[in-house]
Amino acid sequence: MNIFNTKLELKAFLAEQKEARKSIGFVPTMGALHEGHLSLVKRAKKKNDLAVVSIFVNPTQFDNSEDLKKYPQTLENDKQLLESVGCDVLFVPTVKEIYDNNINSEKFDFDGLEHEMEGKFREGHFDGVGTIVKAFLEIIMPDVAYFGKKDFQQLQIVKKLVEKYNIPVEIKGRPIFREDDGLAMSSRNARLTKEHREVAPFIYKTLKKAKKKFGAKNIEELTKWVKKQFKKKPLLELEYFTIADEKTLKTPENIESSKSCRAFIAVFAGDIRLIDNIGLK
């Protein structure tokens, strides 16, 4: 695996690969890799000549400075995992390499997608995501970039970014990887206390039950039902539960008016914020 820390070296290497007509699949990550990340890398490798992964804890997408400070960093282990799945290129830039001395986001208009769900609770988060994804796509110029549906709103926003800026890349969304007990894999899971880790699978259990009830109850009733379930779990604090159309990310007037919708959830387990979602139809 080739490891680069600077844009210049990475670009020079990739230019040669493009000259040789190699296709590039790109997976951006913040490191502390798990099976969910590796599934994206395997896919990138399977469908392209080269799999390129970035590890960069992007400061501008954190609305909570403690979360940024405590974000798990396991670079040596990440490198071994990436080697084990045949990753070709790893890009690990410093913050200075990406932002120089101006650690600020560009401001984006994602046609309102940025104001829903996560956008309501994480000020500036999607400006940070837009800034870093646009920068990486411009540096790497991949044929395809892979994103997990774990961050479904992010996936839709990245699709919008590419469309609005005419960036010549295909964006692919991939399934959510879960622990055996159903908890969606996340780098932040490593920071859960034993008690919070034990209760955290309740999030996905509730999503699955909500899916079963979907259709029998209307959206308002279902939301009330979910809120009631979380009241019974004092270790988990529900931030939001929303049913939204996959395209607009807005709650449909009624179930029939949306072709495909999903339930989205954000929950605090102590000071660790967990998100998850499930397709409803």
Binding site for ligand AMP (CB under 6 A): 29-30, 36-37, 40, 147-148, 150-151, 176-177, 184-187
**Largest Cα–Cα distance in the chain?**
59
Residue with tokens 């139809």: 281
**Which CB sits closer to ligand AMP, 43 or 196?**
43
Residue with tokens 């991949």: 142
State in angstroms the smallest separation of the CB of 257 from ligand AMP.
Answer: 28
CA atoms of 127 and 109, how far apart (whole Å): 9
**Which CB sits closer to ligand AMP, 95 or 255?**
95
250: closest CA among 172, 171, 153, 151?
153
**Which CB sits closer to ligand AMP, 52 or 222?**
52
State in angstroms the smallest separation of the CB of 191 from ligand AMP.
Answer: 13
The active-site residue out of 37, 115, 125, 196 is 37
State in angstroms the smallest separation of the CB of 99 from ligand AMP.
Answer: 17
**Which CB sits closer to ligand AMP, 139 or 222?**
139
Give me Rg for the CA atoms of the chain: 19
Evaluated on CA atoms 30, 35, 38, 44, the torsion sign reads negative
Active site residue 196: no
State in angstroms the smallest separation of the CB of 54 from ligand AMP.
Answer: 9
**Which CB sits closer to ligand AMP, 40 or 219?**
40
State in angstroms the smallest separation of the CB of 150 from ligand AMP.
Answer: 4
Please give the positions annotated as active site.
37
